Structure 1
Amino acid sequence: MHATQQALDLARIQFAFTISFHIVFPALSIGLASFIAVLEGAWLKTRQPVYKELCLFWSKVFAVAFGMGVVSGVVMSYEFGTNWGGFSSFAGSITGPLLAYEVMTAFFLEAGFLGIMLFGWNKVGPKAHFGATLMVAIGTLISTFWILASNSWMQTPRGFRIEGDHVVPVSWFQIIFNPSFPYRLTHMAIAAFIVAGLLVAASGAYHLLKGRRDPAIKKMFSMSLWLLLVLTPVQAVVGDQHGLNTREYQPAKIAAIEGLWDTEKGGTALNLFGIPDMEAETTKYAVSIPHLGSLILTHSWDGEIRGLKSFPKEDRPNSTIVFWSFRIMAGLGVLMILLSAAGFVLRRKNKLFESKMFQRFVLVMGPSGFISLLAGWVTTEAGRQPWVVYGVMRTAQAVSPVTAQQVGVTLLVFVVVYTLVFGTGIYYLLKLLRTGPALPGTITHAPRMDDDNHTARRPLSAATHSIEGA
């Protein structure tokens, strides 16, 4: 039994490790694809060179992120078979088709038009090229739709029946549009745009601090801050609605997030900080505000929220983890709203491009989108435990009959390989961002892949900079 538990724990760590590497790249790709489409549309409408310069530059960053996202995503599909055979056998009749729909409708769309977007500037007309860019952007959003449909079904399963040792789909409409799907899809899509917006803003801040004041730097800095000004408060509203939905369908997750052990009558306090202790069944050193939990989670002064003690011990998520992962996500979200508001105030005072203190703040906040994204996914997935399909199949039932040694060895290999491969990719990505858009007066041209009579064979070919340092 102990060896089986070790294999399960290692399999969970391995999947958490690989998906954490993976999720940041698609999120960046989703946001950048739409940003590039907006830039190209603005260039077609105005013919201002600054938009094309930015479009070409961010296309290089997109190519690197897209390439690393594809590579890291392939690994996880194999993990379903090697480490999670029980889950694949039980729920494959639902998750398999949903992932297949993602490949057929989204990945093929992206792959079909990606080459034109990256290398077709000198091959097709401007409108045809813009159409290809739109198709890639739409493809990333369709991919988000299907992936979130599959994951949301695991959170709030509907539209199925169990026959023997596997599920059988009954209503695909209920499967796809399950109760948590609209909230999770909206929350994730907005998060992807915020991730990209913060990266673009941080890149602009870096070059402003280095003394660049050319139109391309100012334009991307300004555009990203407008995006954040609109989306960060909207994300807070969507997150609130998502929380209400989670309280209805996954009350144990909400109790774990809040570090709430006892069901409080007449109004629930909010634990701002504390250390939940799963063994002692208490939140130590709690700093609480009376009734605030009820106001946030029920929108009423005396709303009742179930405590963790009202659930069997074997059905409780690990409050120690999700309590802090949620607060990291929410805390960074508050800082993002403050950043956006400060940018708006400085813009009104015509000091947006002059305030070095604000630019340093933006630069420091650049990685916060990725951190918040990961913290949100930890909250979602760890908060669902001990279920892999909530209320239907436990995670312990989903693992393959593998040994702890087998999973441990492959985990070690993943750590080494991912550090080398993605470490190099991230280094190159940062090098591109440090280089920035072309300086004014330099010759800017679209990537040509026919100079040596050859055709591009991979997305990373669009990133034409050498990886060696200058």
Structure 2
Amino acid sequence: MDALLLSRIQFGFVITFHILFPAFTIGLAHWLAFLEWRWLRTQDGKWRDLYFFWLRIFAISFGMGVVSGIVMSFQFGTNWAVLSDRAGAILGPLLSYEVLTAFFLEASFLGVMLFGWNRVSPKLHFLSTCMVALGTLFSTFWILAANSWMQTPQGHEIVDGMFVPVDWLAVIFNPSFPYRLVHMVLAAFITTCFVIGGVGAWYLRRGVHLEQGRTMLALAVAFAAIALPLQVLVGDLHGLNVRDHQPVKLAAMEGHWTAGEPGAGVPLVLFGWPDEAGESNRYEIAVPRLGSLILTHSWDGEFDALDTVPPSERPPVAPVFWGFRIMVGLGVLMLLLALASAWAWRRGRLFGSKWLLDGWRLLSPAGFVALLAGWYVVEIGRQPWVVYGLMRTSEAVSPNITAAAVMSSLLTYAAAYAVIFGAGSWYLLGLVRRGPQPFEEPPRTEGGEKTPARPLSVGEPGHARSEGP
């Protein structure tokens, strides 16, 4: 448990918590924009009640994402000072662009979105919601650009050990960036979709908020039936990109240790226990040639095996191997549920099907688990490199940091996160249990002014918006 290992554990711990909230709020911001658009078009109170309900959940989730993100930035200076020094000329501007675009855009319109319902015109409020949603995409764009450059670095030169940008377009639009951006955005949307559908199904099973529950579940089914097949296609393209630019990561994902006989193809390993010492998979269950068909689109195609590089240049195989299967397995379950639900909806049986409703309830957190599993595959799979093929993780850690210092900060983060995120998650569950509430006119003060909104009162009954400009 040296400083390097503890720093990696700490970074993994912090990013595990952090990635959940931005991913959720990316999808939730766009869901809120859709709800408000429907309210403006129909003036049906159902859409307004749903908007207020999910707005409160968005506000808490957004706040927890900001808190966890601040800790992320500290670690680059404290634990990974060498990486910050050598790659700062590239990573620094990319992260700054995220602040200049996404953060400023969200900060400008978030207050209007949360507290301006009865203070600005309906169209201006809707614009604010759309701008916040756009800001989440800008944030995703720049964060993924920085991370993708570390995965497939392009557009730079190395001068005296320093990474110097020479072509910013090549830096930003590096080979893996387009695939990873679309894959991540779709994953965020699908994650939010299954939370919304799961909440709607839970209401239907309990017999409460029936109209809102049917609306949420129906929209979740419609979106999932479109987005999940699209995600399969994007995932296939992303896999081909990994094959071309990070072949060792792909070999670890597939548990492909050695090349077979020419023309024999590569099997698809469905199950196995990677044995790094023996360079093989124990208890392996595989389908002959299917790996070649999926990853080369050829019956007898080949791709690099793990034995093409020495063990010192391989990632830990087991977490990459299992993380990939967890992600794909949950994706398949969600796809099957979405298609079965769409078929039942068409036949008028969706809202009365107990097993489909229970399926949505059980898989409501599946998007979060699949997203984390996929992120572990991406990050662990590039090891031992922090900048793939150019800079090892062991070279990036701060030279003077001690294991005791990292351990103390890790324990502090764990205690703080348990309190902050435990309380926040409990509050979110309380909001879900309470459900959407009817909209009512607010009480007026003696001077005729409406009662001012409080930060956590967003969406409570009694916070109406005037219909004037």
TM-score, length-normalised on structure 2?
0.94
Can you list the C-alpha shifts for 1:128-157, whole angstroms capped at 9, x where unaligned?
100000000001011110110000000000
Can you list the C-alpha shifts for 1:362-402, whole angstroms capped at 9, x where unaligned?
00000100000000000000001000000111000010121
Aligned-partner Cα distance in 1 for 2:148–2:36: 34
Is the partner of 1:274 in helix, strand or coil? strand
Aligned-partner Cα distance in 2 for 1:413–1:452: 43
Q: Does 1:141 align with 2:137?
A: yes
Question: Post-superposition shift, 1:452?
Answer: 9.2
**1:384 is matched by which residue type in structure 2?**
R
Partner of 1:468 in structure 2? none
**1:340 is matched by which residue type in structure 2?**
A
Q: Does 1:304 align with 2:302?
A: yes
Partner of 1:426 in structure 2? 425
**1:254 is matched by which residue type in structure 2?**
L
| 1:48 aligned to which of 44, 47, 51 | 44
The question of whether the paired residues in 2 share the 8 Å contact of 1:119 and 1:446 is answered with no
The question of whether the paired residues in 1 share the 8 Å contact of 2:46 and 2:212 is answered with yes
Aligned-partner Cα distance in 1 for 2:413–2:442: 36
Partner of 1:155 in structure 2? 151
Question: Post-superposition shift, 1:47?
Answer: 1.1
Residues 1:205 and 1:133: Cα distance change in structure 2 (over 3 Å): same
| 1:81 aligned to which of 71, 77, 80 | 77
Alignment of 1:365-384 (within 5 A): 365-384=363-382
Can you list the C-alpha shifts for 1:29-85, whole angstroms capped at 9, x where unaligned?
000000100111111111111111111111111101100000000001001000000
Partner of 2:346 in structure 1? 348
Question: Post-superposition shift, 1:443?
Answer: 3.8
**1:379 is matched by which residue type in structure 2?**
V
Aligned-partner Cα distance in 1 for 2:404–2:130: 47
Residues 1:463 and 1:43: Cα distance change in structure 2 (over 3 Å): closer
List alignment gaps of at least 5 residues for structure 1: 466-470
Is the partner of 1:286 in helix, strand or coil? strand
Aligned-partner Cα distance in 1 for 2:202–2:451: 38
Aligned-partner Cα distance in 1 for 2:104–2:18: 19
Partner of 2:337 in structure 1? 339
**1:369 is matched by which residue type in structure 2?**
G
Residues 1:244 and 1:93: Cα distance change in structure 2 (over 3 Å): same
Aligned-partner Cα distance in 2 for 1:451–1:409: 51
The question of whether the paired residues in 2 share the 8 Å contact of 1:447 and 1:462 is answered with no
Residues 1:127 and 1:447: Cα distance change in structure 2 (over 3 Å): farther
Aligned-partner Cα distance in 1 for 2:460–2:65: 19
The question of whether the paired residues in 1 share the 8 Å contact of 2:52 and 2:459 is answered with no
Is the partner of 2:414 in helix, strand or coil? helix
Q: Does 1:61 align with 2:57?
A: yes
The question of whether the paired residues in 1 share the 8 Å contact of 2:200 and 2:214 is answered with yes
List alignment gaps of at least 5 residues for structure 2: 462-469
Alignment of 1:135-214 (within 5 A): 135-212=131-208, 214=210
- How high is the sequence identity, in percent, across the aligned residues? 52
Residues 1:304 and 1:451: Cα distance change in structure 2 (over 3 Å): farther
RMSD: 1.8
Can you list the C-alpha shifts for 1:157-201, whole angstroms capped at 9, x where unaligned?
000001113111000000000000000000000000001000000
Can you list the C-alpha shifts for 1:80-139, whole angstroms capped at 9, x where unaligned?
000000110010111110010001101110111001111101000000100000000001
**1:414 is matched by which residue type in structure 2?**
Y
Q: Does 1:246 align with 2:245?
A: no
Can you list the C-alpha shifts for 1:322-350, whole angstroms capped at 9, x where unaligned?
00000000000000100101111110121
Aligned residues: 455
